[in-house]
Structure 1
Amino acid sequence: WKYNMMDRNVLGLNAICPTFYQWDDHEVVNNWSDSKDLSADDRYSEKNIHVLAARAARAFHEMTTIRYEPSEPGRVYRKIAYGPLLEVFFLDMRSYRGANGPGIQDTVTPQSRILGEQQMKWLKRELANSNATWKIIAADMPLGLVVWNDATKKAGAEAISNGDNGPAKGRELEIADLLRYIKNAGITNTVWLTADVHYTAAHYYNPDKAQFQDFNPFWEFVSGPLHAGTYGPNDFDMTFGPELKFIKAPTAEQGQNLPPSAGLQFFGLVDIDGATEQLTVRLMDRDDNELYKVTLDPVQSA
């Protein structure tokens, strides 16, 4: 943490831009969950994933500006309000998940969850109580992209999708329940911002194209990395009907794990017009080129 924060570019960013942190699997180890087995990995002298996670959580909270929550010390999920136009709901898709596995459970259980029961109750309550025009859900992981726990074997769900393109199962059940709740509660103008995969894309989730259809359409914007290897693109899982509206990722000829010097580093910008309340999302590259732009009109509550 200290080494990275002394980098002149990070110092420059922190001088001009506030940062709201979420944590990632790499705070601990790649694709960290209870099923992570480090017994044969010589890079780690400590093999207990729970010990590593506890150390990582302590470092994360010591080095980032996250408000202390007395009811749950170390909690990452929270809401940041920006007046009448915007509230941002930061999720934690790492701390409460069941172990990574095939993701084919037929019922919601602690093993099949990714948000956990208490975080889900909090999110539903806060979304329902929000009077903001736009409700941004900042999620660790994309909803409809397949992220394998074992990329070599293309096995196991690391994110939400299990890759079967079928009805909701495993972690998809919890997300299906949330999307159904948002629809039935009349919650409007939700937009998902996410990362994890190392490229940038815009997705439109269309119930008419989905296996699970009990939700209202919504957008998801993916952007990253800021300074890491570029990978992708990932395959879609059609459980929630994602439509690809834009993508910038390595080509087959370029290969994978491209260095930042290759130029495929990405970030996003979101602006809300105070008069029209329209929300504009722009996907950008490291040279500040605008790659994609879309303006969303707010649904006015009855």
Structure 2
Amino acid sequence: MSLSRRSFLVSASATSLVTATGLAAPSYSRAAQRPVFTHGVQSGDVNTSSGMIWTRVDRPSRINMEISTVESFKNSIKLPPMNALPDTDFAAKRLIENLPSDQDIFYRFSAADLSDINTVSEPIVGRFRTAPASRRNIRFAWSGDTAGQGWGIDEVGMKTYATMARHEPDFFLHSGDTIYADGAMQDEVDLKDGSKWINKVLIDEKRKVAETLDEFRGQWKYNLMDEHVRALNAVCPTFFQWDDHEVLNNWSDSKDLTDDDRYTEKSVHVLAANAARAFHELTPISYTPAEPGRVYRKIAYGPLVDVFFLDMRSYRAANSENMQDAPSDATAFMGQQQIAWLKRELANSKATWKIIAADMPIGLVVRDGDTRFEAIANADDGAAKGREFEIADLLRYIKNAGITNTVWLTADVHYTAAHYYNPARAQFQDFEPFWEFVSGPLHAGTFGPNALDGTFGPEVKFVAAPTEEQGANLPPSMGLQFFGLVDIDGATEQLTVRLMNRDDEELWNITLDPVRSA
């Protein structure tokens, strides 16, 4: 690659704004003579021939864009300009298409003030590499949970992002809880040892729960104030999915906020609409013209891997005791339309490995109060019931359709683990064995471990979580922040998973051989 990672890290650092508060302000200032790029650049949803690029400015501007296959931008291609306006919070993103496969793509933005188009910003640059059309080694990272439980940007910053960047992944899969819109922060937090956690960077939008569109936007802009996040974004595409905290804790369409005094806006539908708009404005997630707000999708990353992003939020029924004896509207989790899409896309996939990116785990027990359940498992250990019907149906389909080499990646529970699902140990047995790997948090409180439900026969092969003595909600400074690395060998097609911590220590690994189709 002609552009070093160090060059891009320096470039990303150069885009830092003068003050923290100014970064997240939805208004703009004329104090700077020229437009300013406020939150760096991002790319995402890259495949063999296209990718999304994103940036944001501090005022109404015409965004000039160009792309090149070389760092010098010699013989670059200029794209039609876009306007960054208040209705998108001055953010602009574009799908760039007809790109060569397995190629470094450099992109450059400049901004002209709409009130004076001769007043032009300094340029800002980023890069990504398109997916290969033939077999080569592939590496990607995954994790979840950013800026949660009151742990914000301290003097060290979101270190896990810097650690991931050192591994030079082809892409980073963010498994959800990308923001904590319901997690108000304070300037200081008292720690058990008598010291203090200091949120060195804090903005008004993070001092309360998000309700308005601008407050949800501020949640996203806060994360982008971290230098490590911006540096990774400049050199590595992020593939985003969401979970509950993008709206509020344990969110579903039927969430009741009547007794939650933190919220003056009591309609979860209004909150979800504001959250979804901010999510799509401020990330480089791709869009489907027929369903522009859809989160579930497939990214084909060459012949070795397809990634299937699930949405376990938008279509679920209310949390319940999760013990229904038959499938119904009350047991919906992903919903019939999404399940039908997933089955169809898995059956059509020609990739060696099918990565199912789930924002919640299958067998871990995640509760919502004393009697309701937030995830799939119901702690019953028996035959499939409630939300487990969807998983049973899907696993049976995968087996009967002869779909091989599925691997589930997830986050949500704020610790890291490896689970092997074995029908010989299960109550529901009509499926082929598979692995589920859990990671996170990236920069949030550490919890766990959770109990496992035996319906689908999971076995813990590895876990790293707080000890009983350490307790729960450990700050990032304790070091129990986790991410995973997946390497796929272009020659052997073997897939290796490594579970890592933020200090870049390898905690556990396994190499999986692909099953060859007949």
Normalised-by-shorter TM-score class = over 0.9
Give the match for residue 275 of structure 1. 491
Q: Tell me whether 1:139 sits opposite 2:355 in the alignment.
A: no
Instruction: Tell me the equivalent position of 2:453.
Output: 237
Task: Tell me, yes or no, if structure 1 residue 107 matches structure 2 residue 326.
Answer: yes
| Residue number among 168, 171, 179 corresponding to 2:387 in the alignment | 171
Consecutive aligned runs of 4 or more in structure 1 exceeding 3 Å deviation: none
Aligned residue in 2 for 1:148: 367
Report how far residue 51 of structure 1 moved: 1.1
List gaps (5 residues or longer) in structure 2. 1-219
Normalised by the length of structure 1, the TM-score is 0.97
Give 1 or 2 for the bigger CA radius of gyration. 2
CA distance in 2: counterparts of 1:183 and 1:159, whole angstroms:
23
Q: Given that residues 414 and 441 in structure 2 are in contact (C-alpha distance below 8 angstroms), is that contact kept between their aligned partners in structure 1?
A: yes
Which is worse superposed, 28-37 or 126-135?
28-37
**What residue in structure 2 maps to residue 162 of structure 1?**
378
Given that residues 253 and 314 in structure 2 are in contact (C-alpha distance below 8 angstroms), is that contact kept between their aligned partners in structure 1? no
Asked whether the 8 Å contact 1:206–1:242 carries over to 2, the reply is yes
CA deviation string 1:9-43 (max 9, x = no partner): 21122123210000110011101113422212111
Q: Deviations over 1:101-126 (max 9, x none)?
A: 11111222222011111100000000
Cα distance in 2, alignment partners of residues 52 and 195 from structure 1: 23
In structure 1, distance between residues paired with 2:254 and 2:339? 22
Match of 1:56 in 2: 275
Distance in structure 1 (CA, Å) of the matches to 2:287 and 2:490: 32
2:406 paired with 1:187: no
Task: Tell me the distance in 2 between the aligned counterparts of 1:116 and 1:37.
Answer: 21
Structure 2 partner of 1:258? 474
Residues 202 and 221 in structure 1, CA contact (< 8 A), matched pair in contact too: yes
Instruction: For 1:196, give the aligned amino acid.
Output: D
Question: Which amino acid in structure 2 is aligned with residue 7 of structure 1?
Answer: D
Deviations 1:42-82 (A, max 9, x none): 11111111111111111111111122212222000000111
Equivalent position of 1:292 in the other structure: 508
Q: Counterpart of 1:71?
A: 290
Query: Contact (CA 8 Å) 1:34, 1:100: kept in 2 or not?
Result: no
Q: Determine the C-alpha separation between the residues in 2 that align with 1:15 and 1:71.
A: 30
User: Is 1:210 matched with 2:429?
Assistant: no
Same amino acid, percent of matched pairs: 76
The number of equivalent residue pairs is 299
RMSD of the TM alignment (CA)?
0.9
Shift of 1:240: 0.4
Secondary structure of the structure 1 residue equivalent to 2:402: coil
Shift of residue 128 of structure 1? 0.3
Give the AA of the match of 2:475. P
TM value normalised by structure 2: 0.57
Matched with 1:12 is 231
**TM-superposed deviation, 1:162:** 0.9
Q: Which structure dedicates a bigger proportion of its chain to strand?
A: 2
Hey, what does 1:21 align to over in structure 2? 240
Runs of 5+ consecutive residues of structure 1 not aligned to the other structure: none
Report the Cα distance in structure 2 between the residues aligned to 1:176 and 1:159, rounded to whole angstroms.
15
DSSP 3-state at the match of 1:282: strand
